[in-house]
Amino acid sequence: MDNSQTRACYGAIIVFLLLISTTQANYLSLVNQFLAPQNAARAAVRMRPLVWDARLARYAQWYANQRRKDCDLRHSNGPYGENIFWGSGNGWTPAQAAVAWVSEKKWYNYWSNSCAGGEQCGHYTQIVWSRTRRVGCARVTCDGGRGVFMTCNYDPPGNYFGERPY
């Protein structure tokens, strides 16, 4: 190879590496957007941080893809704990979904181990469940402008009736 071919080859390699690093950076950004608010909530109640799990992320992506056509806010009824989120429009971020779940803390009463009347707090309690160690999440933009669907799956699952999360 002459000098110009070598430079072209190196140029192609650099472009390839930049594309990979950008894709990986976007993926890591997505992961961190899901993880950071949830782990902050766990830290606030002295729980170990959740660890990203590729198997759970694949499950979450599989299920989110099922909801892509209808954006229906329903659970997968799979073997994991699960939080789901829907927002109209297409600009919703993973951080916004995670913050929405965490914000349910205001409705949770530890001493009665219950949610305030008429309010939801099960997303929050799943996030801070003491035995939960791993999480994997996914986001899809639904067909036909139906919005954004996101889901996180947790292992081991939580929210067992009669048990406190921590």
What are the structural domains of the chain? 4-155 (3.40.33.10)
β-pairing verdict for 134-141 and 148-155? antiparallel
The whole-number pLDDT of residue 144 equals 95
Backbone angles phi, psi at 86, to 5 degrees: -135, 140
Alpha carbon distance 128, 158 (integer Å): 9
Structure token pair of residue 136: 């994997």
Alpha carbon distance 81, 147 (integer Å): 23
Is the whole model's pTM more than 0.85, yes or no? no
How do residues 37-75 score in pLDDT, each as one tens digit?
999 999 999 999 999 999 999 999 999 999 999 999 999
Does the structure show a pLDDT above 70 at 1? no
Alpha carbon distance 64, 52 (integer Å): 17
Alpha carbon distance 63, 137 (integer Å): 10
How do residues 98-154 score in pLDDT, each as one tens digit?
999 999 999 999 999 999 999 999 999 999 999 999 999 999 999 999 999 999 999
